[in-house]
Structure formats: C-alpha cells, structure tokens
Structure 1
Amino acid sequence: MKQLKWREIVFNACIALNGLLLFLVLFDHYLQIPAFLQVAGRAHPLVLHFPIVLLLVAFLFELSLRSPRQAAHQPIADGLLLAASFTTVITALMGLLLSKEPGYDPAVISAHKWMGVLCAFISMLWYSFRNRIRKQRSLILTTGLLSTVVLLIAGHKGATITHGDDFLLSPVLSVNKGPDIPLEAAVVYTHLVHPILEKKCMGCHNSGKAKGELVMETTERLLKGGKNGKLWDTAAVDLGLMMQRIHMPLESKEHMPPKGKPQLTEDEARILYLWIKGGSDFTKKVTDLPAGDSLRMLAANFFKSEENEVYDFKAADEQLVAGLNTAYRVIAPLATGSPALAVNFYGSSRFRSEQLRELEKIKDQIASLQLGRMPVTDEDLKMIGTFSNLRTLNLAFTAVKGEGLRHLTHLQHLKQLSLSGTGVRPEQLYVLAPLQKLRSVQIWNTAFTENDLTPLKKRFPKTGFDIGYKGDTVIAKLSTPVIKTEQRIFNSTLAVEIKNPVKGAVTRYTLDGSEPDSLTSPVYSAPVTLSKASAIKARSYLAGWITSDLAKETFYKSSVRPDSIRLMTLPQKEYQQRAREGKALIDLQLGKENFGTREWVGYKDAPFEALLFFKQPVPLQSVTFSSLVSIDSYVLPARELEVWGGTSVQSLKLLGRSNPPQPASPAPAYTMGYECRFPAQTVQVIKLTARPVNRLPAWHRGKGEKGWIFLDELLFN
C-alpha cells in the first residue's frame, strides 16, 4: 500500500509538472530566469540521459509483458514507465530554463523545445493508459515507436544546437572526403580556414547557439566578433582573442574549443595562425602565396594540382642538400616528401656567382629560386638557365639589365618570373615567348608603362603582367621591414639584415628595445653586427607613404652550452612529450609569442627544476631564463629564479637568486629573458629553479588562481 501511495504522489507530480511545462512554454516570452534557476537549467545535459534510457527500456519491457510468464513483472514495468515520465518532464523543464540564456536563437531552438514537451506528454499519457495499451500488441508498438521517434528527433535537434549540423552523421559523410578542388582554384579562407571553423567552432558559435554572442557562419558575423570583441588583431603580438583562447591551457575555462570537445590538430591551429598573421584575407588564393610560404606548403598537403603535376625526377641526396645549406643560402623541399627544392638566398653582401654554380649538383631538383635583391647579373642567368625544372624565379631588384634573358629560354616549366626593380626593357621580354607555361611576370618599379602591356599581351596571351603602381601617385602603407637571420641565439657575434621590398624606403632601427623614430634613430645601410643580447625594432619611412608597422625581434647571446640536462620535475601533462627530457630547453630554438608551438614547456602545479651538466668545468656568471608572458592566458614571469652550482651534484651551493618584476596590468603577450647574475664561478653541474606565482594578482581576471610559467630556452653567460 505504501508503494502505491508513493506512485500516486509521483504521478500527481508528473501531471502538475506537465501542466507547469505547458504553461511556461506558451508564455515563455515573459519568462525571466533568476540565477538559482539558471543552475538548474545548466543541469539539463546531465539529466537528459535518464529519460532516454528509461523510455527505451520501458518500451522493451512492455513488449515482454505479452508473455504469461512475464505478467508477474508488471509492477516493475509500471515503475519504469513512471520513472520515465517523471524524468522526462524534469528534463524538459530544465531545457526550457536553459533556452532562456543568451546565445540561443529562439527560432532554431523551437523545434527541440516542442519535441521535448511532446516527449513529456507522451510518457505521461502512456503511464496513465498503460493497462489499456497492454491489451493490444499493436498499441504497445505504436506508442513505443512514437515515443522513440519523438525522442530521437528531440535528441538530434539538441545535438545540432550543441555540436552543429550533421553532427550525428558527419563521421560517415566526411570519411576520406577531402577537398575535391585543385590547388590552383583553392581559396585560403574558403577551402582551408572555413572547414576548420565549421568542424571545430561552429557547433557553439552558430545562429542557433551563439555562445558569447559570436556567430561564425558568415564572414560578416566572423569579422564582427562577439561580446568580447573582435576575434583577431594582426597588429597584436599574440594576434588577438582567437589565438589566445586556442593556446590557453586545456583546463582553462576560456580555452577553445572547450575541454571535452574535439580539439584542433597542430596543423589546424597552424593554419589559423598563419592565415591571421598573413592579414586574414578572405579572397586570396593558395597560389597567390609565395612558393616558400609556410601556409602554402601546408596547403600542398590538402590539395592536388589541376595539372596533376608529377615531378619526374629523383630527390637529391639529403646529405648533399644539407651540405649546400649555409646561413645565407637555404635549401628545403617545396612540400613534405616532394623531390622539388626551393632555394632562397639572403645577405646581398655575401652573395657570389660561385654560389649559383655550386648548385649544379642539384640543378635538376630546383623548382623555386629566390634571388630578390641579390647582385645577380645577366651573366649569372647562364647558370640559372640550366635549372631545367625551375617553376618560380625571383630576380626582383637585382642587377639584371635584360640582355641575359635569352639564357632562360630553355626553362620550359617556368610559371612565375619576377623582374621588378630591374633594368629590363619591354622589347627584351619577347625572347621568352617560347615559354608556354609562363603565367605570371612581375615588372613593377621598371620602365614598363600601361602602353607596353598591349603588345606584350599579344605575344604572351596566357601570361599576366603586373606593373604595380607608382608610389608618388598612390598613398599606401609601407610593407613592414623584415628582420632576416637564421638564428636568434649566438655565442660570439651575429650579423642581422633588415629589408624592405619597396624601393627607396628608409629603414630606421634601435637595438635597446626602444621605439625607432624618423629623425634620430640609426638608418639601416648594412647588416647590423650584434655582440650582446639585443632587442631590434625597425620601421620603414618614405615620403608620400604611410609609415610601416613595427618589426621587432629579440636576440640572445649564450657563450656556454651544457652537454646534457635532466629534469627533476616534470612539466604539466600536455607539455611532457614536448619537453623531450628537457632537450627542448637547450636546443637553441626560441619560440614566438605563442605557447602552442613545440619550443615552449609549461609549468603550473610544480616549480621547474633541472640539473645541467658540462663535460668540462666552465666559468659561469649568469643564466637567462627565456620566458613567455601572456597575461590573459595566466602566463606570468616566474616569481623566483635560483641558480645552484658546483663540481658535482653533491657539492651544489646557491650561486644566485632573482625575482623577476611582475606585470601590474593587462598587456599583449611578449617574450622576455630574465637573467640571474652572480659572481663568476667555475662549475661542472648546475641546478636551476623557476617557481610560478602561487596566486594571480587581484587585478587579474583569474585572481587567486595559480599562474603558469613557460620556458623555451636556458642561456648561459
């Protein structure tokens, strides 16, 4: 009797709750949810599994009751139906409360809401008329199938709101299905960036579920951003909000995608980073990117050429290629696994014609040759003309006058040629007419005029000619100067080049980290030789042009290098593999303002502690901890640094201690070397310690939480 009484109470509660549900749904336009009920609404995803399971189990149990032997189990069946009815109406009420939070489109969520209400009423009516329904198997089947169908539709609609369209079938529909457009037709945003956003972001940022008031479905909404502002800022060191959120620690509440959701792969994060860094252009094609551009090389892994170009030559010997690489001549594959090589020359003062002749051993593998601003002459074109598989040739701002272009007539695969800033005259180009695959010739900053294009187009019907524009008639912003070097850590001296592709631009720079100005800062005229740690900043100026953006780079001197390292404490779990037993901290590879790259190793719950060993005793007077500071991502300088040293692990004594200055307000991400100096000591073993801040300061949005430290390199003397 007591059991029957409880069932009556629960059933009456179901009737009352269904009545309340119907009333709230009909008048939800006037519904205002207090904070304590928002908590109940957010529990909707936690409880929705109960009615799903209970309704399906109750359906199966009802079918089994047709057997006389199972009739004794009728009380269990009644209990299942009642539990299903009660949990269904509770779940529907919680979902209704959740739907009133900002970010959900009422029109999109409407179908899911009404399906939930229908589920609640069907389960209540099923329990109410269970004895009549059990008399006919067809009624059991009809009621059970109806409730199952409604349940599945409601679940599918909910999954669509939470995870995006086609969430259920997307693994089947997309398996082994890559882009079916050729490389030449691929647009960077449309075919590389948008699919990533659609797959990993739009589940929460769509017109139906705009978390943070952010919708990513159209370029207009993407550019608008959300309640926290725009998604990216190419002028910011960390490129803005999107990249900040992507590279936050996984357990951070603001990490995107949230923990538990499918995370971005390394390639996907890299594509977004490179796209934003390159100006976030929505129309640029992949083939508009330079041949050696990182994003273009990544794209080559996703698309095939429409010409189905297959390099029919063997790859060059890796050791031979490695031997030909120098600080001023970099040789690398065009794409992973490709036999085609890209050759880039740097440092005009170091260029010699012999360096071209040295490439004869790999001349059949060279597909891209970048010689911009090198003192290349027409005589050098004889050697270049033997690179029979060359596709891209950059001779911009060289000493080429045009007489030597006849040596290039054997380059039957040549597609792109840059002669900008050279002394080539219009009539000298006609000798290249036999090159059937030539598609692009850049001739800006030359003697060519618009009138010269008409006869050229007749002789070259498939080739596009770019004569650019005149700086004295068009107001434009100068390109950001490029600080060129193959390394950022040196042990004695380092020559650094600063370049700007715009002819006549004056570049001024500083070495102490201060802002360069157009009047007093040194004018760049030759490679800058560094003999100590320096922070180079550079800007370019030209009358009639808008001043360029600031270029900056930090260089470190490290005259001593340890032979091995042993981590005494491990970094956070997600960075342990990256640490590679600590070798990442002494590999002379510095990271940028982005802790998602391989160079950075992060600590939070434990201090960084490591032993470093030298095979021979060395004099030591300072250790620099190259660190990242990304305040918005909870990454701050270490609160304390210690250096211990001695001739053995047992004889270590404290050599020096320092407390890096802590930031006092939010700021863009930056890298900084924090030095710990001490009287010179001869050591063979040192122990280094860096302790994260225990509690973030009161002004920080994460006040009271633990801070992170990120290290990418340890530098000595």
Structure 2
Amino acid sequence: MPSQKRLSAILQNLLVVFHGLTLVLAFGHEHLQIPAILEFFGRMHPLILHFPIVLLLFLALLFWNPKIRFLENKPFSNILFLITLLLTGLTVMAGLVLATEEGYERDAFYLHQWTGVVLFWLSTIWYLLWEKEIYQGAKIFSLLSIILIIITGHLGASLTHGEDFLLGPLMKEKNKTQVSLEEALSYEHVIQPILEQKCVSCHKASKQKGDLRLDGAAYILAGGKNGPVIDINRAEDSHLLHRILLPIEDEKHMPPKGKLQLTDIETEILISWVRESAFFDKKLVDYPEESNLFRLAKNIFTASDGKNYDFPFASSSTVEKLNNEYRVIQAIYPDAPALRVSFFGKKQFNSKALDELDKISEQVVELNLNNMPLTDEDIKKISRFNNLEKLFLNATSLTGNTLGHLKNQKKLQSLSLSGNPIKESSLAELGQLSQLKNLFIWNTGLSGQDIERLKKSMPDTKIETGFEDSGERYQLNPPIIQAQNNIFSDELEVSLKHPIGTVSIFYTLDNTKPDSSNHILYQGPFKLNKNTTLRARAFANGWLGSDEKSSSFFKSGIKPVSYQLTFPPHKSYPGNGAGTLFDQEKGDEDFGSGKWLGFQDQPFEIIIDLDKGKQVESIAFSLLAAEGSHIFPPKQVEIWTKGETGEWTLIQADRPNQPNKLRNRELLLLEYPITGQHPIQIKAVLKPVPQIPKWHPSAGQKAWVFIDEVLIN
C-alpha cells in the first residue's frame, strides 16, 4: 500500500508539471525554437493520442455503469486515472510542439489546440472530484470531457484529412451535383475530386505542406516553395508528376506512405491532364476523342451515369464487317455492349443496309438515319431493334403513316422527326408512342392546332417544335470563320459559313460588335490587307441572334533588325524566347503549346531595332485572354519610340478594357498607331494586372499576360 501511495504522489506531481508545461506551450509555442528531439516527440502526437481517448472513454463507461465495480478498488483506479491524465497531457504537449512545424495555418489550428488543452483541464477536474468522492460533480465533468473528446477529435481529423471529414460522406451525397459528360469541365469535375480526396488533406489553407495548396486553381498555378507544380512546357518535369510517380517507399512520394494512395486510373488521369496542357476551364467534350484524358474521364462519367445493359456484346468481327465508309458502328461508351449506328452518304443508302443490322439488332440503342432516303415501310424494319433508346429520322421524307410500329419499342425515349412532311393523318400513329420522353417535330408542316392535339394525346412527352408564334425562340449557332492562316504578309481571303443556309451573317472589321445597326452583310469571301479583328453573328427570322464569333488576323510587314526582352518570360512559359514573337507562328487557345510567352511577376518589355529611315505606321500585339486560367488583358500598355536624337518618347499609353466576368478563351489583337515617324527603336511595355478583381474566384492573385506575336507595319 505505501508503494502505491508513493507512486500516486509521483504521478500527481508529474501531472502538476505537465499542466505547467502545457500552459507554457499553449501560450508560447509559436515563439519557441524546437530542437530535433522535441520535433520527434511532436510527431508522436498522432500515435499517442489514441491511448488517452480510449482510457478516458473506458473510465467514463466504468463511471456511469453502476453494475461495474472496477472503480471501487480505489488505489488501483487512482493510478489508472493519473496515467490516463498524464497520457492526455503528453498528447496535448506533443500536438503543441507539432504545431510549430511549417505547413499549419494558425487560425485553423487554434480551435483544435484549445479544445485539447481544455479537455486536459476538465478531465483533471473530473479526477479531483472523483478522488474527493464528489461523484455528482465528477459525473458532470466526465460528460463534458467525453463531449470535448468528440469535438477535439473532429477538429483534429479536419486538420489532417480535410474539413467536415466526419460528415464528409453524408454531405458529399447530399450536395453531389450530377453533371453530364457534355457539361463536365476537365478540372472541376475530374481533377479536383481526385485532389480533394488524395492530396488536399496536406495541402490546404489550414495545412500547407511545402507552402503548397492544391484546393483551388489559383493555388495550383502559384505552386509552393519548390516552385510551380505544373510545367506545361515540359510536362515530364512537372513537380506534381514527379512526386506521384516516385516509388511509394520514397519519402518524397505523394501521397505519403500510409495515406490513401492514388489508383492507377487516377494517376493516369493526372498525368494526361498535365501532358495535355492542364486546362482549368476546358470542357471534356472539347478535347479530341483520341485524347487520353477524354478517354479516361469519359469512362468515369459513364461508370457513374451510364446504364448497365443486360444483353451480351456483339461479336467484334461482326461489328467490324458491318462498319464501312457509309455506316459507322461504335460502342456508346468504352466497355459497353450498347451500340450507336450512324449512316452517311445519301446516294449510297438503301433499305438493305437496315436488314444487314439484324445481326446486332439486340445491341443497337441509338440509330441515326438523318438525311437518308427512307420510306414509311422502313419503319417496320427499325421496329425490330428492341433495345432502341434514341432514333434520329430528321429530313428523311417520312410522312409518319407507319410510326405506330414503334409503339412496342418500350425503351425508346427520344425520337427526332424534324424536317419531314408529317401528315395530319399520322397524328394518331404518333399518339401511340406514349413511352417517348422527347419528340422533335421542327419544320414538319403540322399546324399549331395539330401540335396541340398531339400534346394532349402525349401528356408525358416533351414535344419540341422549334420557333412558335407563342414568342419562344431558339438561338442560332455562331457562324464559322474560315481562313488559310491568321498571319499573312500581303493579303488574306476570309469566308464565313453557317450550317443553316438561310441565315444572314453580319460582321465587322473594326472590332465593334455586329448588330442590326452596325454591320457588313456577308455576301461572299472577302480579302484583308491589314491587322483586323473580325467579329461575326448570325441572324434569321424567328430565331434569336447567335453568340458572337471572333478571330484576329495579323499582317506582318516590317521585320526588325534585332530585338531584346528586358525581362525574361516566366520559366513555365518561355516559348522560344523573344524569337517566338517574330516567327509568324500563331498560337491557339492552348497557352502551354510552346508558342506563347507568359509574364506574371515582371512586365512584358521589348526593345526593337529597325532600319533607319523606315516609316512605321503601327505596332500590334497578339494576346490571349483566358480569365479562368488567370490570363487577362494587360493592365497598361506603353509604346515608346526613339529617333536619331537618342531620346525615348512616350507616344501611346493605354489601359485596355478589362473583363467583369469569366469568358471563353479569346485571341486578342491590340494595335497602336505610330503615325508619321521613322523611329530607329521601339519599346513596348505590357504590364500584367497586379491583382485579379473581386468578382473572380481567385481575387487578389496575380494575373498573367500571354503574348505570341508582335507585328510592325
């Protein structure tokens, strides 16, 4: 018994010491220089914290369950209680030491720190009340201690694993937004979820290992203490790829050993995204079909949104034989037995081509016969495709008299009949297709009265009729701009097209918006002989005018004698140095293609030497705007010239218009006159926007200026 008392006294004295040390660390750990041995102790925090949690919960169970008389052995229970409190104190002190390491945000750590400290205090009070046999008070403090264990544990898990770690799975399901493949963005809907699950727990606002955050596009672009994590110009050198491809045993491998690892598919997706320019605002469907990222991401969406088909795969040899120049058969998504069949070549089509599909009739779920010369009898053949879901019969000359044969196609959800001379007598046939969810009957010749009758007979079907006199109108697609190149030396022919041949195309060549009061009516190909920003829109009666389509064309007239950049471009977007600006190779919307120079921390400033006596009329800059990727027009442009007198003269100072919302990527042309001068040197300065404006998700970050050509005329 005396030995137990001595041990209890020693433990009580240690407990007092631990409380003192805890107070010192709680209020002063930010100002302490922690030796290596204490860093080792601090990193034991995740290991030892489980002991006091289990023991405190165990003591609470004993305390609240009168049937368990374990605590009646006072000497033993006293020592167990003290050991539990000492372990709690050690855990709190280790956590406070761990907080001195880099990578933890003070504000996020604050609550976890003090709930841990208060837990230590409350559990000590619980012990003191129990020892003095004030059991009612001890019960209250035991309950408060258990509540704090839960709160402290939740805050700690949020620090380590991410906010709302405990409720994350429930909240994820509640807030999960279903996005179709057509609407999915490569970063937001494919890359970001992977980073959130596997990387953000260590790279977020509250815990920035390596000064790196991966919880937003702005932070990914900013990089960490080792520089940018993505090198678009040399994808294989990207820090992100280097870390995830290291062997898992390597201490620099990410995610660290012991954390949830990337799957093979996730790794391949990240690699493909970086290699394909790491777009932050690009839709998946805008990637080419042969893109590895598109192929992998498409699998993800079809795996979550796609259907499970219960019919077998068609023979690959059969599908291969049925494919030809005029008929394309392909799976609706990889590893699916369901097939999509599309016909091309109106002159080559005949009804036998449908008979040939009998071998795969069970697998065909989408059939596109647009513009094929069908007869009403062909509908009987189509009705043999029992799993058909979508049927496209636009502009096929059908009258609709045999459409009733499709009534047994219970899986048919969408039918397109636009552009066919559907007869009033066919309404009864159409009315039998009650299984349809969508019916498209644009330009079929049916009267408004006929359509109203049809809607009454098909109340559960959404019937699309195009423009109606009710006032509902549909928007035209923008016109297509065609030219051999965007850079020319003498003149360039440009043509405009639109898939609807009856539209009127309005365009401007002075960078103003084309509308009914300001336009040139397109009547055929035209030629350009100077720097031009072409803006075009399509209009037609009964339709909303299209969105604008624009393109910039550049005339390259005067070649400089020499040129020199005052500041080098950012190391992630160096292009081919200053030579990129005069190589007459126009960059596209892919700013990581190597054809663009990027500037962020320093302005773009170039000094150009010209032949003496050469008259200069203008200087122009080909720029990229992509606000979603932090690429803005320059905040300020300055044009200086130097004549034979040797003095620099500021001849232009401009502040280009800035966007007030996220827009699609756009190629810009900024042109400035240099009238009546024969300069021997020109200096151009383009200053990036120092802080992205408040409306942007990454407000306050530095913007970029991207330039690919300088043209002097």
Length-normalised TM-score, structure 1: 0.51
Quickly say closer, same or farther: Cα 1:47–1:224, change in 2 above 3 A. same
Kindly indicate whether the alpha-carbon contact (under 8 Å) linking 2:477 and 2:538 is maintained by their aligned counterparts in 1: no
> Could you tell me which residue of structure 2 aligns to residue 289 of structure 1?
287
5+ residue gaps, structure 2, are 379-389, 395-417, 421-439, 443-475, 485-492, 504-523, 528-532, 559-575, 596-713
Correspondence for 1:260 among 236, 258, 261: 258
Aligned pairs (5 A) from 1:676-687: none
SS in 2 for 1:470: strand
Q: After the TM superposition, which of the residue ranges 149-158 and 260-269 deviates more from structure 2?
A: 260-269
Kindly indicate whether the alpha-carbon contact (under 8 Å) linking 1:202 and 1:217 is maintained by their aligned counterparts in 2: yes
Give the superposition deviation at 1:165. Answer: 0.8
> Could you tell me which residue of structure 1 aligns to residue 333 of structure 2?
335
SS in 1 for 2:553: coil
- Determine if the alignment matches structure 1 residue 269 to structure 2 residue 267: yes
Kindly indicate whether the alpha-carbon contact (under 8 Å) linking 1:204 and 1:211 is maintained by their aligned counterparts in 2: yes
Give the superposition deviation at 1:212. Answer: 1.2
> Could you tell me which residue of structure 2 aligns to residue 30 of structure 1?
31
> Could you tell me which residue of structure 1 aligns to residue 90 of structure 2?
90
Residues 16-58 of structure 1 show CA distances to partners (whole Å, capped at 9, x for unaligned) of: 1111211222223321111121111111111111111111112
CA distance in 1, matches of 2:526, 2:314: 39
SS in 2 for 1:129: helix
5+ residue gaps, structure 1, are 346-352, 370-380, 392-407, 434-445, 476-515, 517-538, 552-717
- Determine if the alignment matches structure 1 residue 119 to structure 2 residue 160: no
Whichever residue aligns with residue 24 of structure 2, its letter is F
Quickly say closer, same or farther: Cα 1:140–1:265, change in 2 above 3 A. same
Kindly indicate whether the alpha-carbon contact (under 8 Å) linking 1:215 and 1:221 is maintained by their aligned counterparts in 2: yes
CA distance in 2, matches of 1:113, 1:43: 16
Kindly indicate whether the alpha-carbon contact (under 8 Å) linking 1:159 and 1:167 is maintained by their aligned counterparts in 2: yes
CA distance in 1, matches of 2:201, 2:36: 25
Give the superposition deviation at 1:183. Answer: 3.7
> Could you tell me which residue of structure 2 aligns to residue 470 of structure 1?
553
Give the superposition deviation at 1:190. Answer: 1.9
Quickly say closer, same or farther: Cα 1:17–1:550, change in 2 above 3 A. closer
CA distance in 1, matches of 2:201, 2:289: 34
Give the superposition deviation at 1:160. Answer: 0.7
CA distance in 1, matches of 2:248, 2:557: 47
CA distance in 2, matches of 1:467, 1:279: 23
> Could you tell me which residue of structure 2 aligns to residue 230 of structure 1?
228
- Determine if the alignment matches structure 1 residue 75 to structure 2 residue 75: yes
Whichever residue aligns with residue 15 of structure 2, its letter is C
SS in 2 for 1:235: coil
- Determine if the alignment matches structure 1 residue 147 to structure 2 residue 145: yes
Kindly indicate whether the alpha-carbon contact (under 8 Å) linking 2:481 and 2:551 is maintained by their aligned counterparts in 1: no
Identity over the aligned pairs, expressed in percent? Answer: 30
Kindly indicate whether the alpha-carbon contact (under 8 Å) linking 2:213 and 2:223 is maintained by their aligned counterparts in 1: yes
Quickly say closer, same or farther: Cα 1:428–1:462, change in 2 above 3 A. closer
Equivalent pairs counted in the alignment come to 439
> Could you tell me which residue of structure 2 aligns to residue 543 of structure 1?
584
Kindly indicate whether the alpha-carbon contact (under 8 Å) linking 2:203 and 2:214 is maintained by their aligned counterparts in 1: yes
Correspondence for 2:199 among 198, 201, 210: 201
Kindly indicate whether the alpha-carbon contact (under 8 Å) linking 2:322 and 2:329 is maintained by their aligned counterparts in 1: yes
CA distance in 1, matches of 2:86, 2:324: 74
CA distance in 2, matches of 1:368, 1:38: 66
SS in 1 for 2:37: helix
Whichever residue aligns with residue 62 of structure 1, its letter is F
Q: After the TM superposition, which of the residue ranges 149-158 and 171-180 deviates more from structure 2?
A: 171-180
RMSD: 5.4
Kindly indicate whether the alpha-carbon contact (under 8 Å) linking 1:105 and 1:207 is maintained by their aligned counterparts in 2: yes
Quickly say closer, same or farther: Cα 1:284–1:56, change in 2 above 3 A. same
Whichever residue aligns with residue 160 of structure 1, its letter is S
Q: After the TM superposition, which of the residue ranges 414-423 and 27-36 deviates more from structure 2?
A: 414-423
SS in 2 for 1:146: helix
SS in 1 for 2:241: helix
- Determine if the alignment matches structure 1 residue 39 to structure 2 residue 122: no
> Could you tell me which residue of structure 2 aligns to residue 2 of structure 1?
3
Residues 516-560 of structure 1 show CA distances to partners (whole Å, capped at 9, x for unaligned) of: 9xxxxxxxxxxxxxxxxxxxxxx9x97354699689xxxxxxxxx
Residues 131-160 of structure 1 show CA distances to partners (whole Å, capped at 9, x for unaligned) of: 33x443x32321211111112211111111
> Could you tell me which residue of structure 1 aligns to residue 425 of structure 2?
none
Kindly indicate whether the alpha-carbon contact (under 8 Å) linking 1:271 and 1:295 is maintained by their aligned counterparts in 2: yes
> Could you tell me which residue of structure 2 aligns to residue 105 of structure 1?
105
Kindly indicate whether the alpha-carbon contact (under 8 Å) linking 1:366 and 1:390 is maintained by their aligned counterparts in 2: no
CA distance in 2, matches of 1:284, 1:117: 47
Whichever residue aligns with residue 114 of structure 1, its letter is W
Whichever residue aligns with residue 80 of structure 2, its letter is L
> Could you tell me which residue of structure 2 aligns to residue 61 of structure 1?
62
Residues 66-102 of structure 1 show CA distances to partners (whole Å, capped at 9, x for unaligned) of: 5696564222321221111110111111111100000
SS in 2 for 1:185: coil
CA distance in 2, matches of 1:277, 1:129: 64
CA distance in 2, matches of 1:150, 1:457: 68
Give the superposition deviation at 1:272. Answer: 2.3
Whichever residue aligns with residue 121 of structure 1, its letter is W
Give the superposition deviation at 1:259. Answer: 1.9
Correspondence for 1:181 among 176, 179, 182: 179
CA distance in 2, matches of 1:340, 1:143: 67
Give the superposition deviation at 1:189. Answer: 1.6
Give the superposition deviation at 1:12. Answer: 0.1
Give the superposition deviation at 1:215. Answer: 1.3
CA distance in 2, matches of 1:430, 1:239: 47
CA distance in 1, matches of 2:477, 2:293: 20
Kindly indicate whether the alpha-carbon contact (under 8 Å) linking 2:479 and 2:538 is maintained by their aligned counterparts in 1: no
CA distance in 2, matches of 1:108, 1:119: 18
> Larger Rg: 1 or 2?
2
Quickly say closer, same or farther: Cα 1:75–1:247, change in 2 above 3 A. same
Give the superposition deviation at 1:271. Answer: 3.0
SS in 1 for 2:262: coil
CA distance in 2, matches of 1:268, 1:462: 42
CA distance in 2, matches of 1:412, 1:28: 73
CA distance in 1, matches of 2:367, 2:239: 36
Quickly say closer, same or farther: Cα 1:12–1:278, change in 2 above 3 A. same
Aligned pairs (5 A) from 1:234-633: 234-238=232-236, 240-291=238-289, 293-301=291-299, 303=301, 318-323=316-321, 332-336=330-334, 337=336, 339=338, 341=340, 429-431=499-501, 447=525, 453-456=536-539, 461=544, 466=549, 468-470=551-553, 472=555, 543=584, 545=586
Give the superposition deviation at 1:454. Answer: 4.3
Give the superposition deviation at 1:288. Answer: 2.8
Aligned pairs (5 A) from 1:159-174: 159-174=157-172
Give the superposition deviation at 1:242. Answer: 1.1
